[in-house]
Structure 1
Amino acid sequence: MNLPAEPVAADHAPAHTVLGDSAARQLANATKTTPILATVTPRWLTHLLQWLPVEAGVYRLNRVRNPQDVKVLCAKRDESELPATFVDYEEQPHEYFLSALSTVLDVHTRVSDLYSSPHDQIKEQLRLTIETIKEKQENELINNPDYGLLASVHPDQIVYPLTGAPTPDDLDELLVRVWKEPAFFLTHPLAIAAFGRECTRRGVPPPTVSLFGSQFLTWRGIPLIPSDKVPVADGKTKILLLRVGEKRQGVVGLFQPGLPGEQSPGLSVRFMGINRHAIASYLISLYCSLAVQSDDALAVLEDVEIGKYHDYPDTYK
């Protein structure tokens, strides 16, 4: 005789076994990004300069000596003689020599052989190293003691703020110094923020302009270009104003063309071989410099106050 099964109490119900998230993830492929380098910036300065090839590694800047002595007179109609003049040149023109930024990248062949999927290890190592060299390039274009922008400002082109914080009056003073086709202001992002606050306080918020797909504040139609390579010390920084281009007798960048293993203007990558320890080496080199063709192509506003120390503690480290 079959008896009916006794009901099973709820607390004695059989446990349900399910696949957990941690175990399931062992069979899943994670989406892997390329390495993110936090120190990479847009490097607007290198984009905005005109770059001139320097094939012999030397750029000789020939200037007219005493340009005010070149005389042209408006002769009267009945005069038979024409005025005579000549244009003299500097006998010892300034020469700019290309600066080399170089490093050697070492990658063990075992690493590149075994761990290059989905991202090629050598390619990524080269990409990150090149990005770092280009960041150093922009820093040198601004701060190099021989050819950098800050070292190339003529003493007559140095001005100081009226009140400390950057104001529209201060930027107007820079425009007086670089009035022939100025291209852009260059300064630290904190100085641009301080200038924006001053403009808002005065009731003249600066308009913006779109360049390279990004928005920039402007003053008198001239964009303010940010760069974290402009030095900041004790709550102060500098604002530069540039005229650029060879035809405008402005600021120009210099590079070495036709390098072996050239990746971009002035930048080369060369394979140096594999040593007996299975280390593959690559030489990455970048050759560049900067020239200010005319003194009035560059001016700087010194001692620009950007805020109190405790507002931006990480900036002053």
Structure 2
Amino acid sequence: MTFLIVIVFLALLFDFINGFHDTANAIATSVSTKALKPRVAIFMAAILNFIGAMLFDGVAKNVGGSIANPLHIEHGMEIVAAALISAIFWNLLTWYLGIPSSSSHTLIGSLAGAVIAGAGNGAIHWAGFQKIVLGLILSPVLAFVLGFIMLTLIRWVVVLLGNRSPGKVNRTFRLMQIASAGLQSFSHGANDAQKAMGIIVFALVAGGFQDGMHVPLWVKIAAATAMGLGTSIGGWKIIETVSRKIIKIEPMNGFASDLTSIAILQGGTAMGLPLSTTHVITSAIIGTGSAVRFKSINWGVVGKMILTWVITIPISFGVAYLIYNLIFKLIL
């Protein structure tokens, strides 16, 4: 029971860090275009993240059971602890560097590495692992394409509506961004907070505290609260990168980026797939920016981000593998 309490604390700490690490995803466009003041945007995001986290559990069940079956592996609680320590380390490192990395990637990579270290290759459900990784890889590609199409269609509609001053168009889309930022925050909570829920459920089953992969109410409340509190702090370094360093975001393409990421995140949540909010919204911003002017994007910053995306899973895998072997095998 003491070890379970430690694991729940680590999972909620991961969720808390995820909250301020990924706050930029929900509010970067609205802050950049001045549709919302930063503190107002963060407060709204915190509340809607909490609500979104409370209403869904399909992603939690997938994270908790698709990579490995906690009923059929030994040392399951030690495996979860190693995975969480690894994921927290990577999230804090990328936050410190101001790089919008993926909490989903680091958790999935860390859990796979810890499972193999603690229970061997045969304990991994490779089909489930591949399905999750495929979703994580394809979602930013889809976000880029859909963002490009979304902005092109919106610009076409604006032209059809007749001659309007740029100022009036911007004011209209700033107002619309208030709603889209709210939906973006809700979608973030609905998908991202469930990852911590899933890892807690994994530990509960592995420790013999429950039999199935259902998510207890107290787990939902705890994870939603941790996510909301983390979001309320705000990850200013990452907000700066996403909102200003990729491209100058105008209200129209900010709104199109929000709509794109909302559609993809809600689709992933409906299918129970853990998606990277970071990758989705950033790719949507790049897609809408490309529809305006391809050369206006800061491809140097984008290149660094993509490199981080590529290395997150293997590095997290390796770190979790080492943590399990060094701490839970040698020391304990």
TM-score (norm 2): 0.27
- Specify which structure has the higher proportion of strand: 1
Structure number with the bigger relative contact order (C-alpha 8 A, sep ≥ 6) is 2
TM-score (norm 1): 0.28
CA radius of gyration, larger in: 1
- Specify which structure has the higher proportion of helix: 2
